[in-house]
Amino acid sequence: AVDRMKFQGMSDRAKKEHDEARKKYLTEMEAFRKANPEWVAEQEKLLQSVKKAKKDLARNLFSKVVKLTNDGVRQAGVEYKYFYVLTFLPDLQWCHLAPMRKNGHFGPDKPRAEGRPRWMLVGENEGKEVDIS
């Protein structure tokens, strides 16, 4: 019980010091913001762009068919036009992709898709999968 009281006192002092330091920081930041309105405007723009980037990241690409951007083509080459997303890690903006190739065309049994190409994954044994950011 004595040890607990000792640590409780240490905890209370640390909390009080933290609260005082935070109050001082907030006061100084408020004064800084008033003295530098251009900085505040810049920070608001930056915050909006960060929010937009996070929203874009939230787009789930897992199990989707994608076409590479110019940067992606530089990383993976131009051999394949479409890729299937096997793994997608949004926080890292990283994908593990399997290339796709044409496998014939849809016939009259599928009137809405007739004439369009069919696509299939390139075999895993060919080792054509790519990791891309």
Start-to-end CA distance of the chain, whole Å, equals 55
In the predicted model, is pLDDT for residue 40 greater than 70? yes
DSSP state for residue 127 in the 8-state scheme: -
Report whether pLDDT(92) > 60.
yes
Q: Can you give the pTM of this predicted structure?
A: 0.54
Distance CA(82)–CA(37), nearest Å, equals 48
Q: Which pLDDT belongs to residue 58?
A: 56
Q: What is the pLDDT of residue 24?
A: 97
pLDDT band at 25 (very low <50, low <70, confident <90, very high): very high
The pLDDT confidence band at residue 71, using thresholds 50, 70 and 90, is confident
pLDDT at 57: 57
- Location of structure tokens 């787009």: 59
Q: What's the rounded Cα separation, in Å, for the pair 90 and 108?
A: 40
- Per-residue pLDDT of 54-66, as tens digits, reads 666 556 788 889 8
